[in-house]
Structure 1
C-alpha cells in the first residue's frame, strides 16, 4: 500500500501561506525535490493545483523561466512529470498529467493508496485538513522556517481531533530552517 505524506513549508507561528516570507533556498529546494522524487503521484485541491501548475509546469516553448535558479529546475522537472490527482467541484477540466478525484473522498483516497506505486504526496491547506480529519495521512513532512508571519492561514487550523505524532526524522538547514518528519503515534 502506498503511503500518503503531507508536506508543506510552515513558519514558527504556524502560517502555511506561500507568501508568508518563506523564500526557498538551495537546501530547501533539494529537500522538496527529494520529497517529490520519492512519490509517483501528488494529490491537490483546486487552489494548490492551480498554484503549482502556474509555477512548475514546463513551458510549451523554450526552457524553464528565467526566475528559476539552477536548484529549482530539478524540482520543476520532477513535479512536471508526476501524475496528479485533483479534488475539485468547481474546475471544469484539468491537464498537466492530472485527473479528477470524484465521489467520496475517503473511498477515493483509500483506493489511490491501494494502487501499486512508491507513494503519494499531498500539499496545500484545505485538502490536507480534510484528509487528516479522516485519518488518511501516514506521514507529515514540515519544513519549519525561522520566520514569524503574524497572519495568514495556519497549519491544519480547524482539525476536529488532536493527532498525536512521533518524530521520525529531523534535518537542519543552513538557513536555520528545520525539516521534520512525523508519523501518527501508535495508539
Structure 2
C-alpha cells in the first residue's frame, strides 16, 4: 500500500496562498529548496488539482533552462518532468510531461492508487488535499511554516469530519525563521 503525503509552504496564519493566489511570501532559501527536492525524489506519483498543476506546469518543464538556475533547481525540474503525475480536473484536457488527467471522483481514484504497491504519493493543491483529508487518506503532513501573516487567502487545512490524531516525527528550522513540522497520521 502506498503512503499519501500532503505538504506545502504556509504562512504562520495557515494559508498556502494570500489573496489573489499570491505566494511571493513563501520564497524558499537554498537550504529549504534542497529539502523540498530531497522529499520530491522519494515521491513516485504527484497528484495535483487544476490550479497547482497550472502553476507547476507553467514553470518547471523548463526550470532547468532558466538563467541563473541553481543545481537544485535544475535537478528539481528534471525530477518533476520524470515523475508520473495525475491532474484531477474536469476542465483540463491536455497535459504533457508524464501526466494524465482524471475527470472523475478524485477520492475514489486516490483510494485506488493508494491500494497499489509503489513509492509514496504527494497530493498538492489545497482543495484536492482537503478532499483526501476528509476521506482519511492522508498519511503524512509536511508543514513548512514561514514567519509571515497574510491575513487571508487559501488555507492549508480544510474542515475535517472528525478528529485526526497525529504523531510528530520531525522538526527542523531553516534560514529566515522557517520551521518544518512533519506529522504522521495515527491509525
Both structures adopt the same fold (TM-score exceeding 0.5): yes
CA distance in 2, matches of 1:96, 1:19: 24
Q: Corresponding residue for 1:97?
A: 98
CA distance in 1, matches of 2:181, 2:81: 25
**Partners of 1:102 and 1:108 within 8 A in 2:** no
1:25 to 29, 36, 43: 29
Residue 114 of structure 1 deviates from its aligned partner by 2.2
Q: Corresponding residue for 1:85?
A: 86
Q: Corresponding residue for 2:4?
A: 4
1:93-132 aligned at under 5 Å gives the runs 93-132=94-133
- Whichever structure has more strand as a proportion of its residues is 2
Q: Corresponding residue for 1:58?
A: 62
SS at match of 1:5: strand
Q: TM-score, normalised by structure 2?
A: 0.89
With 101-110 and 145-154 compared, the bigger mean Cα shift is at 101-110
SS at match of 1:44: strand
SS at match of 2:104: coil
Residue 54 of structure 1 deviates from its aligned partner by 0.7
Gaps of 5+ in 1: none
- Whichever structure has more helix as a proportion of its residues is 2
CA distance in 1, matches of 2:102, 2:151: 34
**Partners of 1:9 and 1:16 within 8 A in 2:** yes
Pair 1:41 & 2:45 matched: yes
CA distance in 1, matches of 2:2, 2:180: 22
Aligned residues: 183
Q: Corresponding residue for 1:15?
A: 15
Gaps of 5+ in 2: none
CA distance in 1, matches of 2:186, 2:115: 22
Q: TM-score, normalised by structure 1?
A: 0.89
RMSD, aligned CA: 1.8
CA distance in 2, matches of 1:158, 1:140: 15
Q: Corresponding residue for 1:69?
A: 70
* CA offset digits 1:64-113 (Å, max 9, x no partner): 11253333222222112110011001112222211122433232112211
